Amino acid sequence: MTSVPHISSESAITISDEVARLAASAEVISAIEWFRDQESEFARWQLELARIPAPPFGEIARADWLAERFRALGLLKVHKDGVGNVLGSNPGRSSAVVCVSAHLDTVFPASTPLNIRQQGRKLSGPGISDNASGITSLLAIAAAFENFKLPHMASLLFIGNVGEEGEGDLRGMRYIFSDPRWKDSIQASVVLDGAGTDTIVSEALGSRRFEVTVRGPGGHSWSDFGTSNPIVVIGRAIHLFSQTRVSTSPKTTFNVGVIRGGTSVNSIPESATMRVDLRSSSPSEIERLELELRRALEQALQEEETRTAPSRNSNRRPELNSEMVVIGDRPGGELASDARILRIARAVDAHIGNDAHIQRASTDANIPISMGREAIAVGAGGSGGGAHTLQEWFDTTGRELALERILLILMCLAGDAK
């Protein structure tokens, strides 16, 4: 009998075989049944969690809630780290770590009325999907590994992290991946963010955000007429910058999202501010947009100085000054198309009959992906809409498919300890 040559590399076929073998195991079948039976409990967790405010930089109460749940489920070494991330571990036999995380924070300020409610399978209210659904799935997965003693060689690190949204600027994930304890041991990361099962985010969208401030002497609208006006400068800069051409491929966008300035209708303002968001799948396009923004600001300042110059002494110093402060800088990048985590996610989707496409987005996965590490972001199941609005909703129908998907991806990533 001739021997079959040993396949040394982990080919697509062996990954799908592995997925099929895991999915057919008695423990996994029981876990998936349990997911279905537990849906009303999952919805309760989600509602309870969404009722706890978690504005950017104010995630403590939600973190405490999650830490308590982690302990109740039986995770070990449950603790909060230096920036407020909540970590809990399910140790494996090897020193490798597979990380699964969901962000705790919402975009809503602390004063937002959180009218969280349920009508049948539909849950509504700010943050109910993004990211109460992610945290709920994180808990469901942690519970399944504990309750059904699912095998895993690598340790599983469960994280509810702070600072994903807006000015949080991925600080929770940045902290994890700068911690010597984790940055070298985490082999792969799965980020749970928002609803659905139809995407795999493996391309990290980069962005850079600025707060632009223009300051002047200010004055009385009547008696100091002619003094340089920071609001006019900001308005002019927006007008100039908004004419910047952007490419559709690589897709590049900009937004002026906030403007502020002035004190009263009869005062020349002493300052004016705008916040600008630049995004592109290409880092060089972000550089180019930044340059255009600086040019627009420079030109707007010059035009305002020229406009007001006749009323002033010619040898006077310019009245205006400006600064552009970086308030967000999310590194971009993308996984190699043959990355192991992608092959696993695709094999799991093929096995469970889920149709998902690769997506480029800005998520917590930006940090590991930009460091050349394997990471993806996937949805937490069900369906949702109205993200970042007070009308946000989440429908729990089909959540169990996402849980099965996430479970199999993690088991495959962590390896079988049997």
Contact residues: Zn ion, CB under 5 A: 130-131, 193
> Could you tell me whether strands 374-378 and 186-192 are parallel, antiparallel, or unpaired per DSSP bridges?
parallel
Alpha-carbon Rg for the chain in angstroms: 25
Per the CB < 8 A criterion, the answer to whether 138 and 158 are in contact is: yes
Return the number of the residue (201 or 293) whose C-beta is nearest Zn ion. Answer: 201
Give min distance, CB of 156 to Zn ion, in A. Answer: 21
Give min distance, CB of 394 to Zn ion, in A. Answer: 12
Amino acid, single-letter form, for residue 186: I
Give min distance, CB of 123 to Zn ion, in A. Answer: 16
- Residue 283 CA to residue 137 CA, distance in Å, equals 33
Neighbours of 221 (CB within 10 A): 14
Residue in the structure block whose two tokens are 């039986």: 74
CB-facing half-sphere around the CA of 235: CA atoms within 13 A: 9
Give min distance, CB of 132 to Zn ion, in A. Answer: 10
Sheet containing 117-119: order of strands = 117-119, 122-124, 393-395, 383-385
Return the number of the residue (56 or 261) whose C-beta is nearest Zn ion. Answer: 56
Give the start-end residues of each E strand in 20-170.
76-80, 86-90, 97-103, 117-119, 122-124, 155-161
Give min distance, CB of 363 to Zn ion, in A. Answer: 7
Return the number of the residue (89 or 101) whose C-beta is nearest Zn ion. Answer: 101
Return the number of the residue (16 or 131) whose C-beta is nearest Zn ion. Answer: 131
Return the number of the residue (308 or 363) whose C-beta is nearest Zn ion. Answer: 363
- Residue 44 CA to residue 132 CA, distance in Å, equals 11
Give min distance, CB of 372 to Zn ion, in A. Answer: 23
Return the number of the residue (193 or 319) whose C-beta is nearest Zn ion. Answer: 193
Residue 324: strand, helix, or coil: strand
